[in-house]
């Protein structure tokens, strides 16, 4: 009886594998982007669990679209992310994943895309933009509205210069006391820009990722402008521990952010409370 | 299912013989009743265990792996074959729920390692074990390898699985086949249907929760004592003598703690006690059922018995139901 293989080493979902850091780029005073030689198929919006042994594990969304590497944009806010900031090219770190439901890019072919990001929330959306870049013919008009706190907080400065030429790009900064250059940024919240902007909802889907309060107000404005709930995709923020729908930390109304999300179509989650 | 007769005076010899081949785990009364590895079967207590059995499968502390720098070593699987004796219907149904989470969904190798090597021997309750029981309201099912029914001078033992059949044949000198079935009436547990309606989704915004919320300390005793609650956290521990060496551990957690939904930047999603209190109840009696077709709660009442303020949410739900019906 019980002759089955009980080996814990086989397909153990909790055990990360080692990868090399191939590039480290400092974006702002508290954010950086690392490139890792992890060759894995993934969807934009999915995330990985990054381990620094002895410090811990942190979920980070993938901000690239390649089968040769993954890029992670990380903000130094906790123990693990602060320690990750000390990585150098050639260092090893442990990763498991990718996890979660990303943006359903395949299903959304043929649509106009409106991509709205706030601060760190721009990171997973960069994965979408890279994906669109690799499948440009599959999508129509692409509009980017990206909000940051100040010019010094702008991430992906190198990419913004490119996106400006390719897409309809609008950057906003909450404040710009020294009137620094930042891609013709408007001063004010993303929401203020969106309120004034002429937005057609025709044949369009919207991806929003940013602080919860920003997403809430952006959705309100989109609804006023005639967008339907099923045209809007949001990315939920929760702290994922297990990444495989067990530990319950990321549960919202019985749904697992790590499994059913982090990307949700708004009509599927709009009635959820803080439960 | 085939039924056997085991004379009561033969129970101890049977268990002693089981102990020669397996680790025997059963309820023991020390300060409180808990499941423990048995050294002498005479110490077995037939009262309802205060603590659940879940810690033998979903361990309170589980080393997921050890590390030395970025080298990872997965611990060997040393789980013994265990025979669990004295599991109540609620304990057994709790195992179904945890099986769903850890085996069907996640294929958790640690849970699987101990669960696969287990034999589940139930002990039928004729009536509610305590004033807190409400298993009769929870649509529990028959789930066991063997189930023992106390019939005065003997037990009737019902087979429930292949594993059960295997045990009976391995210890056949103790069991005499009886040409009868265990009737539905014999399977009933009297006085346990005190929850009037086990679907509560319509009650989320009801003000009736308030008095319970005010009595709650968010201490997490309910989730620790719950035989089905399965949330956990993961953290690293390093050796103080060598900081690059250590292990990653998973430990029980509780959705009742404020830190449970804290994210980077110190934002807490379920900051209010009310939100956390309701999250547990609604996970137990709502969300889980939406996903798996059965309530997570098995009606054992341990969360009420172990609550420092004895919050009886069953009473509260009944009151709200009654009020809505009026």
Q: What is the pLDDT of residue A82?
A: 95
Are residues A216 and A255 both part of a single domain?
yes
- Alpha helices per DSSP H over chain B: 11-21, 89-99, 109-116, 162-170, 184-187, 210-215, 221-225, 273-282, 288-292, 302-305, 313-325
Are residues A83 and A194 both part of a single domain?
no
CATH number of the domain within which A49 lies: 2.40.30.10
Report the alpha-carbon distance of residue B231 to residue B54 in Å, rounded: 12
Express each pLDDT in B196-243 by its tens digit.
887 888 899 999 999 999 999 999 999 999 999 999 999 999 998 888
- Which ipTM value was assigned to this complex? 0.88
Nearest residue on chain B to A51, judged by CA atoms? B70
Please tell me whether residue A190 adopts helix, strand or coil conformation. Answer: helix
Q: Which residues of B touch A252 (CB under 8 A)?
A: 269
Q: How many CB atoms lie within 10 A of CB A89?
A: 12
Domain count, chain A: 2
Residue listed under structure tokens 């929850």: B195
Are residues A47 and A126 both part of a single domain?
no
Q: Give a yes or no: residue A235 inside a domain.
A: yes
Higher pLDDT, A261 or B252: B252
Angle formed by the axes of helices B109-116 and B89-99, to 10°? 140
Asked if A18's CB is within 8 angstroms of B70's CB, the reply is: yes
Are residues A86 and A30 both part of a single domain?
yes
Q: Where are the domains positioned within chain B? A: 3-187, 201-325
Q: Which residues of B touch A251 (CB under 8 A)?
A: 255, 279, 283, 287
From first to last of its 275 residues, what are the pLDDT tens digits of chain A? Answer: 343 445 677 789 999 999 999 999 999 999 999 999 999 999 999 999 999 999 999 999 999 999 999 999 999 998 999 999 999 999 999 999 999 999 999 999 999 999 999 999 999 999 999 999 999 999 999 999 999 999 999 999 999 999 999 999 999 999 887 777 677 778 889 898 888 888 888 898 999 999 888 999 999 999 999 999 999 999 988 888 999 999 999 999 899 999 998 999 999 998 887 66
Are residues A91 and A120 both part of a single domain?
no
Q: Give a yes or no: residue A9 inside a domain.
A: no
Asked if A13's CB is within 8 angstroms of B108's CB, the reply is: yes
Beta bridge partners of A205: A113
Q: Which residues of A touch B291 (CB under 8 A)?
A: 254
Of A56, A81, A251, the CB nearest to B235: A56
Are residues A147 and A265 both part of a single domain?
yes
Q: Give a yes or no: residue A86 inside a domain.
A: yes
Query: Which element (helix H / strand E) includes A10?
Result: none
Asked if B65's CB is within 8 angstroms of A15's CB, the reply is: yes
Are residues A81 and A43 both part of a single domain?
yes
Of B79, B105, B264, the CB nearest to A77: B264
A184 lies in which domain range?
Answer: 112-269
Asked if B67's CB is within 8 angstroms of A244's CB, the reply is: no
Q: Of the given ranges (A9-13, B8-12, B81-85), which has the lowest mean pLDDT? A: A9-13
Q: Which residues of A touch B288 (CB under 8 A)?
A: 254
Report the alpha-carbon distance of residue B231 to residue B233 in Å, rounded: 7
Report the alpha-carbon distance of residue A73 to residue A104 in Å, rounded: 21
Q: What is the pLDDT of residue A11?
A: 81
B185 at A interface, C-beta within 8 A: no
Q: Which residues of A touch B270 (CB under 8 A)?
A: 274-275
Are residues A122 and A58 both part of a single domain?
no
CATH number of the domain within which A166 lies: 3.40.50.80
Q: Which residues of A touch B108 (CB under 8 A)?
A: 13, 246
Q: Which residues of B touch A238 (CB under 8 A)?
A: 261, 263, 269
Which residues numbered 78-117 in B keep a CB inside 8 Å of some CB on A?
79, 81, 101-102, 105-110, 112-113, 116-117
Q: What is the pLDDT of residue A6?
A: 52
Mean pLDDT of B147-176: 96
Q: What is the pLDDT of residue A176?
A: 81
Q: What is the pLDDT of residue B206?
A: 93
Q: What is the pLDDT of residue A7?
A: 67
Asked if B72's CB is within 8 angstroms of A247's CB, the reply is: no
Are residues A133 and A258 both part of a single domain?
yes
Percent of chain B whose predicted confidence (pLDDT) is above 70: 100
Mean pLDDT of B92-101: 96
Of B75, B263, B286, the CB nearest to A239: B263
Asked if B106's CB is within 8 angstroms of A244's CB, the reply is: yes
Mutate to test the interface with A, among B57, B64, B66, B70 (most CBs of A within 10 A): B70
How close is the nearest chain A Cα to the Cα of B124, in Å? 26
| Residue ending a domain, choose from A71, A98, A125 | A98
Asked if B275's CB is within 8 angstroms of A274's CB, the reply is: yes
Are residues A90 and A132 both part of a single domain?
no
Q: What is the pLDDT of residue A1?
A: 38
Q: Give a yes or no: residue A83 inside a domain.
A: yes
pLDDT tops 90 at residue B22: yes
B178 at A interface, C-beta within 8 A: no
CA atoms within a 13 Å half-sphere pointing along the CA-CB vector of B26: 24
* Core vs surface per residue B19-46: b (16+ CB within 10 A) or e: beebbbbbbbeeeebbbbebeebeebee
- Token pair of A216 as six digits: 């809430």
The secondary structure of residue B194, as a DSSP letter, is -
Q: Which residues of B touch A9 (CB under 8 A)?
A: 74
Are residues A25 and A80 both part of a single domain?
yes
Q: What are the residues whose beta carbons fall under 8 Å from the beta carbon of A255, sequence distance 6 or more?
A: A261, A264, A269, A272
Q: What is the pLDDT of residue A4?
A: 44
Q: Give a yes or no: residue A161 inside a domain.
A: yes
Are residues A60 and A125 both part of a single domain?
no
Q: What is the pLDDT of residue A177?
A: 77
């Amino acid at each position: 009886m019980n002759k089955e293989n009980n080996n814990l080493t086989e397909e153990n979902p909790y055990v990360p594998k080692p990868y090399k850091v191939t590039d480290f780029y400092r974006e702002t005073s508290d954010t950086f982007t690392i490139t890792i030689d992890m060759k894995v198929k993934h969807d934009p919006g999915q995330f990985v669990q990054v381990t620094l042994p002895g410090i811990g594990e942190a979920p980070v969304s993938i901000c690239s679209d390649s089968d040769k590497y993954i890029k992670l944009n990380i903000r130094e806010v906790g123990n693990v992310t602060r320690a990750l900031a000390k990585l150098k090219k050639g260092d090893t770190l442990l990763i498991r994943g990718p996890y979660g439901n990303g943006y359903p890019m395949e299903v959304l072919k043929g649509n106009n895309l409106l991509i709205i990001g706030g601060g760190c929330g721009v990171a997973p959306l960069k994965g979408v933009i890279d994906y669109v870049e690799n499948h440009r013919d599959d999508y129509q008009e692409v509009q980017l509205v990206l909000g940051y706190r100040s010019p010094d907080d702008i991430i992906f400065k190198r990419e913004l210069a490119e996106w400006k030429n390719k897409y309809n790009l609008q950057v906003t900064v909450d404040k710009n006391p020294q009137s620094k250059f930042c891609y013709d940024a408007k001063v004010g919240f993303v929401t203020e820009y969106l309120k004034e902007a002429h937005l057609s909802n025709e044949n369009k889907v919207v991806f929003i990722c940013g602080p919860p309060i920003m997403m809430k107000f952006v959705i309100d404005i989109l609804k006023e402008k005639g967008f339907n709930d099923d045209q809007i995709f949001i990315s939920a923020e929760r702290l994922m521990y297990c990444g495989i729908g067990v530990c319950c930390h990321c549960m919202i109304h019985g749904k697992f952010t790590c499994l059913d999300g982090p990307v949700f179509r708004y009509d599927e989650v709009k009635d959820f409370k803080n439960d | 299912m085939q039924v056997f007769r085991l004379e009561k005076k033969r129970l101890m010899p049977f268990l002693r013989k089981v102990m020669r081949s397996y680790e025997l785990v059963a309820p023991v009364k020390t300060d409180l009743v808990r499941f423990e590895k048995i050294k002498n079967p005479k110490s077995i207590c037939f009262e309802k265990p205060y603590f659940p059995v879940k810690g033998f499968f979903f361990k309170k502390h589980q080393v997921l792996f050890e590390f030395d720098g970025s080298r990872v070593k997965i611990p060997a699987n040393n789980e013994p074959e265990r025979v669990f004796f004295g599991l109540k219907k609620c304990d057994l149904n709790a195992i179904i729920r945890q099986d769903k989470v850890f085996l069907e969904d996640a294929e958790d190798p640690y849970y699987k390692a101990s669960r696969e090597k287990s034999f589940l021997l139930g002990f039928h309750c004729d009536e509610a074990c305590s004033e807190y029981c409400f298993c009769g309201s929870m649509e529990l099912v028959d789930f066991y390898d063997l189930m023992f029914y106390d019939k005065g001078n003997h037990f009737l033992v019902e087979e429930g699985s292949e594993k059960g059949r295997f045990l009976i044949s391995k210890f056949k000198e103790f069991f005499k086949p009886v040409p009868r079935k265990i009737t539905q009436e014999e399977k009933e547990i009297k006085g346990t249907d005190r929850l009037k309606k086990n679907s509560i989704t319509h009650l989320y915004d009801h003000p009736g929760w308030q008095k319970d919320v005010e009595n709650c300390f968010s201490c997490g005793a309910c989730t620790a004592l719950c035989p089905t609650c399965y949330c956990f956290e993961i953290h690293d521990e390093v050796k103080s003598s060598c900081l690059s060496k250590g292990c990653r551990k998973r430990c029980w957690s509780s959705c009742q703690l404020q830190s449970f939904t804290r994210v980077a930047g110190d934002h807490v999603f379920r900051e209010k006690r009310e939100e956390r209190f309701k999250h547990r109840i609604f996970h137990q009696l709502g969300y889980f059922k939406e996903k798996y077709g059965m309530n997570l709660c098995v009606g054992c009442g341990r969360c009420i018995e172990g609550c420092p303020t004895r919050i009886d949410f069953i009473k509260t739900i009944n009151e709200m139901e009654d009020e809505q019906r009026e």
